[in-house]
Amino acid sequence: MILLTELHYFPPAALFAELQRADGLLIEAHEHYRKQTFRNRCLIRTAQGVQPLTVPVIDGNRAEKVSVSEIEIDYRQNWIHRHSRTLQTAYGNSPYFEYYTDYLHDIYVRKPILLFDLNLQFLQLLLRCFRLTLPLHLTAEYHAYYSAQPSSEHFGLVNGPSAAVITDRRDWLTPKAASRPPEPDRPAAHTLVRPYPQVFGPGFEPGLSVLDLLFSQGPAAGGFLQ
């Protein structure tokens, strides 16, 4: 099974539960950018509750008319410092924060021009954190729908498999997912991550960025994905 998804900024852990069952990963590289999604934000848990971290983009008001691979990050805003400081405040006392934070810093300081490149670099890091060695491919053109067993020639995969079952998970994970009715062919994201100890409580908060799980469980994080 090849999992098709858009790129996210530190996606919810449920994505990696799906990736553990996948044989390959196909990234949507030719959609139009969509605002108010996980493409440029993630959710973390702080002492004040669940909060978003958002990467600002240039020309945000016209962003939905631009290809996702062309969206530029707005570095006129000091968002890297804000994100780093917020993560330190929220997770500095978690067991594995210091283990991962230097890897995040190394990517932040490169300051990729494009949001797509930033998200791709973080995704590649996260795959290594979960020890997932999946083949990763980019779409060469946009298709609204994918049939059960497409060929690379039909769907224009870049260096893609000649034939494989593609499971479309585009826009499966959204900040507003809880308000949408469940779909028969898409598992509820909150059922794919077993509760684990979180820094702030009480109770378990599902749907957070995968960073929350990694900072809490480190190399054992994969064991909480089902």
Domain ranges of the chain: 2-224
What is the structure's pLDDT at 65? 83
Report the DSSP beta bridge partners of residue 25.
3, 136
Question: What is the per-residue pLDDT for 176?
Answer: 77
Q: Tell me which DSSP letter residue 133 carries.
A: -
Residue 181 in this model has a pLDDT that exceeds 70:
no
| pLDDT reported for residue 146 | 82
pLDDT, one tens digit per residue, over 112-163 is 999 999 999 999 999 999 999 999 999 999 999 886 554 444 444 444 444 5
Stretch 39-61: mean pLDDT: 93
User: Counting Cβ atoms within 10 Å, is residue 63 exposed (0-12), middle (13-18) or buried (19+)?
Assistant: buried
Given this model, what pLDDT does residue 190 score? 85
- Reading the block at residue 130, the tokens are 């979960």
Does the global pTM surpass 0.75? yes
For position 109, what pLDDT does the model report?
97
Cβ neighbours of residue 4 closer than 8 Å, sequence gap 6 or more: 26, 27, 28, 139, 146, 166, 167, 168, 169, 170
Find out whether 44 and 208 touch, Cβ atoms under 8 Å. yes
Please tell me which residue, 182 or 49, carries the higher pLDDT value: 49
What pLDDT score does 156 carry?
A: 46
